[in-house]
Amino acid sequence: MGIEPEVRHNSPATSTDVLIVGGGITGLSCALFLRRHGVGCVLVERHASTSVHPRAWGWYPRTLELLRGAGVEEEVLRVAAGYADHRRQATVESLAGRELRAVMLPEPDDLSALTPSRQIALGQDRMEPIVRAAAAEAGAELAFHTELTSFERPQGPGGPVVATVKDRESGEERQVRARYLVAADGGRSPVRETLGIARGGRGTMQHQVSILFRADLEGPLAGRRFSICQIENDELKGAVLGHDDTLRRGTLIVQYHPEQGEQVEDFTTERCVRLVRSAIGDGQADVGIIGVLPWELAALTAERFRDGSVFLIGDAAHVIPPIGGYGANTGVHDAHNLAWKLAAVLRGEAGEGLLDSYDAERRPVAEATVEQAQLRLLVRSGRAGEEQRRATLEVLTVMLGHAYPTAAEPGAELPRFRDHERLRGEPGTRGPHVPVLLREDGARRAGSLLDVYGPEPVLLFDDTVPSWRGAAEEAARRTGARLRPAGFGAELTDRSEQGWHERYGVSAGGAVLVRPDGFVAWRSATAPADAAGAAGAVTDALRRMLATD
């Protein structure tokens, strides 16, 4: 169901740069990233708080890199520490029953050559409060238990979106006037439905119910820890059970069949208790049902991610099958890609074409990621052919190696995914990690070159070629845009064995322009012939990046 198109004009008004609809991990991440760029934002979420359901259970290094840049990675790692030994995957009759098949996942790979971050397990119910607190501390206005009831878009360029939101507790309504609206309101997105944006893809493949429960799982687990286990017994076939690090809370996921007349309402408290007891393997276990969440295992992508002043992110833009754990991670990446572009346009540094690049970059990546999740589903179920198995990529290639061909050099051919271990600074790809010493307040600290990328574009170069620093300053003056020079020898000290030049595909005299999201926009493989040529090249590259050329 869509949102009513009419807006009442008799309520108090709030003005902001961006209105975000939806307070899940994607919307909260968007608010945090926008505030990091100094953009004002109001977020409304119809529920009273963040999700109590774990939903997403795993986070890839690229997502942790983005949270690192926003200053919350350390807290996330602290909260996730209790999940470090949850590496057992098994098919069992029940937690207390016989194991039919089991495998220990290997210790996490050492990714220090590729990223300063890690891959972690942590329920979304534990992740969202961290991001919410950080967004609020950064100055985002977060209005939970507040529902978007209607919105109007500007008739001409530059006008505001005028939305009416309602406090669901008091019933009070107010207007929010914003330059842009970001829909992070889930797979059934009322904003997307109101705009009439269709979705393509395979559609719904299964109907699932997640039963969140309280129970003492320490005895049935008998010292084991599961990342996930499948339950196979007389009452449960193909059900999935996950538990948290307290061993007092778990989620049981079961399938149901609407085509056979089954409904979510059939999952009464009594039935859910019985199913959980069967999964645990104790017919008398003390079980408390916290909540029942219906959802669809589906593969869908919106036909466009931008509609004028409205943008779709996360599940509103794409629904990805959970095999591979791509969904929530991809939503956070959407938010990060969009945030710097909105900020640049709002500051007057970029053209509207930069906002078009959100759809041009993120929609093809989403479609390809949906395809990868479907391939993994076929492989896991044993139904994949040889060609499909070969087409199934490593998860880190999907999460770290996704590329934006539209941002590549003219005439260059760039596949949708590059081998994550072979990234060499090609324009359109994520800038590689290089261990460095960073100069801050007169002192040096160890970090990653990724720590340099942030609110403004960065020009990397060696200070042995001084014309690059002057070129950065001149390009910023000519364009009116911010550009941060980062010279090795002054701001940075290279601590890598390879050398940053080789990692970024340039000679010792070359330079690299990196976008605020850490993707390479341009590079010069060699030193410039003269200062004027350097300034012109950097200016042209900056204008192309900001869509002002």
What's the rounded Cα separation, in Å, for the pair 485 and 458? 6
pLDDT digits over 107-117, tens only?
A: 667 899 999 99
The pLDDT value given to residue 169: 93
Among 41-50, 333-342, 413-422, 511-520, the minimum mean pLDDT is found in 413-422
* pLDDT for residue 10: 43
How far, CA to CA in Å, does 254 sit from each of 122, 209, 236, 251?
A: 21, 5, 8, 10
The pLDDT-based confidence of 410 (bands split at 50, 70, 90) is confident
In which element (H, E) is residue 42 found? Answer: strand 41-45
Q: Give pLDDT, residue 12.
A: 63
Question: Helix, strand, coil shares of the chain as percentages rounded to 5?
Answer: 30, 30, 40
CB 534 within 8 A of CB 512: no
Give the pLDDT confidence of 502-547 residue by residue, as tens digits: 999 999 999 999 999 999 999 999 999 999 999 999 999 999 999 9
Provide the residue type at 327 as one letter.
G
* Integer Cα distance of 89 and 103 in angstroms: 5
* Residue scoring higher pLDDT (485 or 105): 485
pLDDT for residue 106: 66
202-298 is classed in which CATH architecture? 2-Layer Sandwich (3.30)
- Confidence band, pLDDT 50/70/90 cuts, at residue 8: very low
CATH superfamily of 13-83+121-200+301-361: FAD/NAD(P)-binding domain (3.50.50.60)
In DSSP terms, 231 is beta-bridged to: 92, 239
In 400-500, which ranges are E strands? 435-440, 443-448, 458-462, 484-488, 492-494
Confidence of residue 4 (pLDDT cuts 50, 70, 90): very low
**Using N-to-C axis directions, what is the helix angle for 124-137 and 25-36, rounded to 10°?**
30
pLDDT at 157 over 80: no
* Chain Cα centroid distance, residue 235: 36
- Classified as helix, coil or strand, 116 is coil
Between 53-62, 366-375, 436-445, 536-545, the lowest mean confidence (pLDDT) is in 436-445
Give the dihedral of Cα atoms 306, 409, 472, 358; nearest 10 deg. Answer: 10
d(CA 362, CA 290): 36
Q: Which pLDDT band, with edges at 50, 70 and 90, does 318 fall under?
A: very high
Burial track 444-468 (b if 16+ CB lie within 10 A, e otherwise):
eeebbbbbbbbbbbbbbbbeebebb
Q: What is the pLDDT of residue 1?
A: 38
The ranges of the chain annotated as CATH 3.50.50.60 are: 13-83+121-200+301-361
For the chain, give every residue range classified as CATH 3.40.30.120: 435-545
Write the Ramachandran bin of 261: left for phi over 0, alpha for psi from -120 to 50, otherwise beta. Answer: left
Return the CATH architecture of domain 435-545.
3-Layer(aba) Sandwich (3.40)
User: Using 50, 70 and 90 to split pLDDT, how confident is the model at 391?
Assistant: very high
